[in-house]
């Protein structure tokens, strides 16, 4: 385990305990989330070192890696994923909509933490040149077998030339990344001027996060080491040379997270209650604008 003595965003050393959360999916151990007294940022602290974090991903329940379809929640997840994949494709298509691509040029996308490659595959089928970086060797194998896509490991940044990528995507990935500044600097380097960084993150200031507290499934300790609010996202990315252009909702996520949170809180899922809290959270977010359970941030590098 390693303990941070200062806030990675504002460097304040005044940290207070915010929540004690259990790892419900793998280890069943308890981890603390601290809050920075100066800027309000939340992070898991202490946390497993990067070298030992692998064992916390060893679970069939970790569906983004294993593609399991066992159980109702996983089935619903896969059902919803078909819709969300199309929505994500539409979003990246729109992000380059105004740019012209010559006949020999192909739109170029890099997905970070691409798992087994389902999103890259739909992009490839729709004319994108796709590349991905994925830490799990097992997931890279599945992507190669299922889609014929060769993914890179996390030490492959030097393969990507400066200003060579039109869109970089990170769908629920940065909350897992240890060397966050280093990765974000690499993204900025490889993005073309006018390029887009699409970042999806859970929002720990959403109504469902507040309602479920320590049982909120998107805290997902210790795999999630950073817990962002929209204000944290804006502050952090501006400090790294990005401009936050817009924020988009991910309404499906509220239902999925509420189902899992119900399971963690009560031991079994009350689907009716999960639907009510998911709906309530989305309804609240419609009124307030940026308190969706998960949100997509459209960022542009300042070059």
Q: Which CB, 10 or 76, lies closer to Zn ion?
A: 10
Query: In angstroms, what is the minimal distance from the CB of 38 to Zn ion?
Result: 5
- Contact between 8 and Zn ion (CB under 5 A)? no
Q: Which CB, 9 or 260, lies closer to Zn ion?
A: 9
Q: Which stretch binds Zn ion (CB under 5 A): 31-39, 188-196, 243-251, 284-292?
A: 31-39
- Note whether 216 and 24 are within 8 A (CB): no
Q: Which CB, 6 or 49, lies closer to Zn ion?
A: 6
- Contact between 10 and Zn ion (CB under 5 A)? yes
- Contact between 239 and Zn ion (CB under 5 A)? no
**DSSP string over 171-191:** ES-GGG-SSHHHHHHHHHHHE
Which one among 33, 36, 133, 274 touches Zn ion, defined by CB under 5 A?
36
- Contact between 41 and Zn ion (CB under 5 A)? yes
H or E segment to which residue 168 belongs: strand 165-171
Query: In angstroms, what is the minimal distance from the CB of 39 to Zn ion?
Result: 3
Which one among 4, 26, 39, 248 touches Zn ion, defined by CB under 5 A?
39
The residue among 239, 280, 235 whose CA lies nearest residue 41 is: 235
For residue 159, give the DSSP letter: G
Which one among 6, 12, 13, 17 touches Zn ion, defined by CB under 5 A?
12
- Contact between 180 and Zn ion (CB under 5 A)? no
- Note whether 131 and 109 are within 8 A (CB): yes
- Contact between 7 and Zn ion (CB under 5 A)? yes
Specify burial of residue 196 (Cβ count, 10 A radius: 0-12, 13-18, 19+). Answer: buried
Query: In angstroms, what is the minimal distance from the CB of 225 to Zn ion?
Result: 15
Q: Which CB, 36 or 198, lies closer to Zn ion?
A: 36
Query: In angstroms, what is the minimal distance from the CB of 231 to Zn ion?
Result: 11
Q: Which stretch binds Zn ion (CB under 5 A): 8-16, 98-106, 177-185, 254-262?
A: 8-16
- Note whether 46 and 1 are within 8 A (CB): yes
Structure tokens at 76: 């619903």
Query: In angstroms, what is the minimal distance from the CB of 9 to Zn ion?
Result: 5
List of residues 6+ apart from 120 with CB closer than 8 A? 109, 111, 114, 130, 131, 132, 143, 147, 149
The residue among 257, 276, 290 whose CA lies nearest residue 76 is: 257
Query: In angstroms, what is the minimal distance from the CB of 181 to Zn ion?
Result: 14
Q: Which CB, 7 or 118, lies closer to Zn ion?
A: 7
Q: Which CB, 37 or 72, lies closer to Zn ion?
A: 37
The residue among 227, 291, 279 whose CA lies nearest residue 8 is: 227
Which one among 27, 38, 192, 270 touches Zn ion, defined by CB under 5 A?
38
**DSSP string over 29-62:** -EEEEEEETTT--EEESSB--TTTGGGGG--TT-
Query: In angstroms, what is the minimal distance from the CB of 279 to Zn ion?
Result: 33
Enumerate binding residues for Zn ion (CB under 5 A): 7, 9-10, 12, 36, 38-39, 41
């Amino acid at each position: 385990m390693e303990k941070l003595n200062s806030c990675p965003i504002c460097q304040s050393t005044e940290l207070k305990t915010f929540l004690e959360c259990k790892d419900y999916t793998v280890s069943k151990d308890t981890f603390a989330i601290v809050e920075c007294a100066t800027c309000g940022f939340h992070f898991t602290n202490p946390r497993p070192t990067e070298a030992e974090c692998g064992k916390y991903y060893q679970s069939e329940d970790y569906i983004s890696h294993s593609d399991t379809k066992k159980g109702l929640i996983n089935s619903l997840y896969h059902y919803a994923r078909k819709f969300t994949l199309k929505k994500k494709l539409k979003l990246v298509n729109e992000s380059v909509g105004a740019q012209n691509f010559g006949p020999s040029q192909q739109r170029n996308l890099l997905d970070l933490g691409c798992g087994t490659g389902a999103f890259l595959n739909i992009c490839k089928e729709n004319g994108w040149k796709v590349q991905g970086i994925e830490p799990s060797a097992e997931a890279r194998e599945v992507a190669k077998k299922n889609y014929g896509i060769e993914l890179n490991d996390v030490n492959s940044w030097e393969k990507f030339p400066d200003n060579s990528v039109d869109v970089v995507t990170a769908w629920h990935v940065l909350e897992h990344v240890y060397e966050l500044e280093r990765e974000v600097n690499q993204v900025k380097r490889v993005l073309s001027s006018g390029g887009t960084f699409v970042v999806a993150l859970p929002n720990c200031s959403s109504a469902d996060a507040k309602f479920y507290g320590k049982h909120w499934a998107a805290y997902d300790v210790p795999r999630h080491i950073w817990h962002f609010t929209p204000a944290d996202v804006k502050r952090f990315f501006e400090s790294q040379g990005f401009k936050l252009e817009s924020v988009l909702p991910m309404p499906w996520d509220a239902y999925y997270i509420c189902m899992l949170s119900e399971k963690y809180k009560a031991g079994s899922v009350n689907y009716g209650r999960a639907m009510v809290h998911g709906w309530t959270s989305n309804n609240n977010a419609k009124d307030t604008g940026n308190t969706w359970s998960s949100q997509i941030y459209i960022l542009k590098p300042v070059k």
